[in-house]
Amino acid sequence: KAGVTQTPRYLIKTRGQQVTLSCSPISGHRSVSWYQQTPGQGLQFLFEYFSETQRNKGNFPGRFSGRQFSNSRSEMNVSTLELGDSALYLCASSIASEADTQYFGPGTRLTVL
């Protein structure tokens, strides 16, 4: 069974640009969560999607958005990039609820110059 895949693995952007990251969950998983990981703040929850609906979101500005497609694949978008957005963005999938095991992808390393 294939694991969670994230593309691209590495990305370099400049301030003011926007970026879209992609996550393909494990087959049969309908819940996808996104996290931002930085050395200073650790792993922080961005949002969670299930059946194309956002069920919860973390405390991030509106520049961070996401969506989920009918095949459960998910994308997150960051507009007007800032230097502080440089981070490892992790996606995790689970079958349906927070009671199910989360499986993480390898992450996308975003560097903003």
Cis peptide before 8 (omega within 30 of 0): yes
The answer to whether 93 contacts another protein (rule: CB under 8 A) is no
The answer to whether 4 contacts another protein (rule: CB under 8 A) is yes
Nearest to 70, CA basis, from 95, 53, 56, 57: 53
The interface mask with another protein, positions 40-79, x = CB under 8 A, is: --xxxx--x-x----xx-x---------------------
Binding-site ranges for another protein (CB under 8 A) = 4, 31, 33, 35, 42-45, 48, 50, 55-56, 58, 90, 92, 97-99, 101-107
